[in-house]
Structures are given as structure tokens and as C-alpha cells.
Homo-oligomer: A and B are copies of this chain.
Amino acid sequence: MSGQMSLADVLESALYVLDLPAAEEFYTGILGLTLHSKLEGRHVFLKCGNRMILLFNAEATAVTAGGPNDAPTHGAKGEVHLAFAAPDREIDQWKQHLVENGVEIEKEIQLRGGRSIYFRDPSQNCLEIASPRIWGIPEETLSSRT
């Protein structure tokens, strides 16, 4: 019965950015994501371990070329939230690394056995690095580094 189906994994998380080259530099240079591909003026696609972070120019994705392999329209204005997972023991290193690269730690929260740090990307999207423990999820679920 299809009534019992459930999704159990996220493949692509999207953010909308105002300056694609600045975003590419930030996400690859400071956060260490890997460039997968890009289309000037429209998107930068990044690998984060075995999953994807998609950075879009919302003005470009609001229209579609309508070809057989073109995605439907989408796009948002404002500050989207995204959290990356890391082991709790790495949070201090991340704080230091971000500050050394001129990124302000906007907030630090301790909850449910783990810590979160919050900061902004160059488009002011609301980023977080936290242990899955903050959701009661064990760190054994963390992807191994690729």
C-alpha cells in the first residue's frame, strides 16, 4: 500500500543569494564545500559530503526555459535558514575558523546535549553548524568526510 510511504533523506537544500560569485567563494573557500557545477547568473551547485547545496539567483529561477530537462520555477527573497551537521567536538574549531576568516558568530546556543553556532553568508542567509545531538540524533549518523 502506497499509504505507508515515507521519505527519509534529503538530497538538495537550496539557498537564494544576491551575488553568486561571492557566495561561491564563501561556501567553497570558508565552509569547504566542493564546486559541482555552475551557470553564470543562475546558480552554483555545491557538494556537501554526499548531498547537495544549491545556490540560486531567485530572479533567474523565477522563469524557466521550459525544456524537457528544465526544473520548474522557484525562488525566494529573504534570509533562508540552513544548518550543517558537525561533531560537537569540532564546534570550537569552526568558531575559530569562521572568526579567522572574518565571519561573525551571531549566536551560540547550547541545547539538548549539543551546541549550535549561527552566522550569516554574504547574502545574510542564516547559517548554523550544530551537532545532530541537538535533535536527539546520535553523531554516529554523521557522514564520513569524502
Contacts and interface: CB of A to CB of B under 8 A. Distances in A.
> So how many copies of this chain end up in the complex?
2
A5 B97 contact: yes
Which of A10, A68, A78, A96 has the most chain B CB atoms inside 10 A of its CB?
A10
Interface string A59-90: 00100000011011111111111111110001
A80 B76 contact: yes
A93 B71 CA distance: 21
A83 B11 contact: yes
Nearest to A28: B6
Interface residues of A, number: 74
Interface of A: 2-14, 16, 31-34, 36, 47-54, 56, 58, 61, 68-69, 71-86, 90, 93-94, 96-97, 100, 106-107, 109-111, 118, 125-126, 128-130, 132, 135, 137, 141-146
Sorted nearest first, the 3 A-B pairs with minimum C-beta distance are A6-B32, A76-B78, A8-B49
